[in-house]
């Protein structure tokens, strides 16, 4: 078992977030690749975990907090740790200690790099990226927004407590149209699929709504809900669908013109 930086033989699986069962979407993987190329000189580490059979069973990506969705300094920030949790292809690889192995690897990297600690985010529920895993590994809560929780571990008493970077919500739309605001960042294929879904939902209803994409790659945030006018849409719920989003936009428009 080994953790290695991605290369030409593994980057496809990395950019697809381990979804090798799906055909590649060139737009999504292209945006992920562009983000990777721009962020790597800033200290991004993009790793995969290869088991003894040669299968890629997990991935992680982390970088200095100064270039992350969090506010702080002299820490390493983990964007994601993901272990293959599907039954297809190589099967469910979770609950085998791979997440712990990733975390211990990153902590060792942080100490060798002279960083004062690690910061990582998760969700306050068990379904996906549960913050309870990091708390079990000795991390402590320092900030929270909705169900998104920030935790850290430090080995230096001079380390400053990090916090979630919060974005300024958009102002209410003027006139009858619904303003659909998406904060765009390309470190996660799930996020990319989200704003592509939003654009698809707007097709055919451009007369009642318009899309406002806000590039936040220079000042990213982990809390970046989709806004319909000035209200967040489904901020902590399961992924939405094109139909559900379109219905909600139409509903809001009808309420605006009454």
Tell whether 14 and 136 lie within a shared domain. yes
18 with 129, same domain: the answer is yes
Do residue 241 and residue 125 come from a single domain? Answer: no
What are the tokens at 112?
Answer: 């060798």
* Residue 192: CATH number of its domain: 3.40.30.10
Q: Tell me, yes or no, whether 12 and 40 share the same domain.
A: yes
CATH number at residue 68: 3.40.630.30
In this structure, is residue 46 part of a structural domain?
Answer: yes
For the residues 127-139, what does the mean pLDDT come to? 95
Give the pLDDT of residue 118: 99
Does some domain include residue 53?
yes
Within a domain: residue 31?
yes
As given in the structure block, the two tokens for residue 91 are 């099967």
**Average pLDDT for 142-166:** 97
Residues 182 and 121 in one domain: no
Same domain membership, residue 120 and residue 71: yes
Does 79 fall in a domain? yes
**Is the same domain home to 104 and 194?**
no
Task: Pick the range with the lowest mean pLDDT from 40-49, 103-112, 130-139, 185-194.
Answer: 185-194
Report if residue 171 sits inside a domain: no
Note whether 26 and 111 are same-domain residues: yes
3-state secondary structure of 191: helix
Q: Does residue 172 belong to any structural domain of this protein?
A: no
pLDDT, tens digit (0-9, with 9 covering 90-100), for 165-187:
998 888 776 678 999 999 988 99
Q: Is residue 115 part of a domain?
A: yes
Domain count, the chain: 2
- Burial (CB count <10 Å: 0-12, 13-18, 19+), residue 111: middle
- Host H or E run for residue 111: helix 98-112
Mean pLDDT value across residues 22-41? 94
Say if residue 6's pLDDT is above 90.
yes
| Same structural domain, 88 and 190 | no
Query: Do 30 and 152 belong to one domain?
Result: yes
Q: Which of 106, 141, 164 is the last residue of a domain?
A: 164
Mean pLDDT for all residues in the chain = 94
Q: Two tokens at 86? A: 């599907």
What is the extent of the structural domain holding 214? 178-257
Say yes or no: 104 and 40 in one domain.
Answer: yes
CA angle at 14 for the pair 44 and 220, rounded to the nearest 5°: 45
Q: Are residues 160 and 234 both part of a single domain?
A: no
């Amino acid at each position: 078992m080994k953790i290695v930086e991605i290369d030409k033989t593994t980057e496809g699986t990395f950019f697809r977030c381990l979804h090798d069962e799906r055909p590649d979407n060139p737009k999504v993987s292209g945006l992920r690749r562009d983000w990777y190329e721009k962020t790597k000189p800033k200290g991004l580490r993009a790793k995969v975990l290869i088991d003894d059979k040669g299968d890629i069973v997990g991935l992680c990506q982390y970088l200095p907090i100064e270039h992350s969705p969090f506010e702080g300094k002299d820490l390493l920030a983990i964007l994601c740790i993901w272990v293959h949790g599907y039954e297809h292809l190589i099967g469910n690889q979770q609950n085998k200690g791979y997440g712990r192995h990733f975390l211990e690897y990153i902590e060792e990297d942080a100490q060798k790099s002279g960083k004062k600690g690690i910061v990582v985010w998760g969700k306050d529920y068990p379904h996906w990226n549960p913050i309870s895993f990091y708390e079990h590994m000795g991390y402590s809560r320092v900030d929270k927004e909705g169900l998104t929780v920030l935790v850290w571990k430090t080995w230096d008493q001079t380390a400053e407590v990090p916090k979630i970077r919060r974005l300024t919500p958009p102002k209410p739309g003027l006139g009858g149209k619904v303003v659909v605001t998406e904060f765009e960042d390309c470190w996660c294929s799930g996020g990319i699929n989200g704003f592509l879904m939003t654009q698809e939902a707007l097709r055919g209803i451009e007369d009642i709504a318009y899309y406002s994409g806000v590039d936040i790659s220079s000042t990213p945030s982990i809390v970046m809900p989709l806004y319909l006018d000035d209200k967040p849409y489904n901020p902590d719920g399961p992924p939405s669908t094109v139909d559900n989003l379109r219905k909600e936009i139409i509903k809001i428009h009808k309420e605006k013109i009454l």
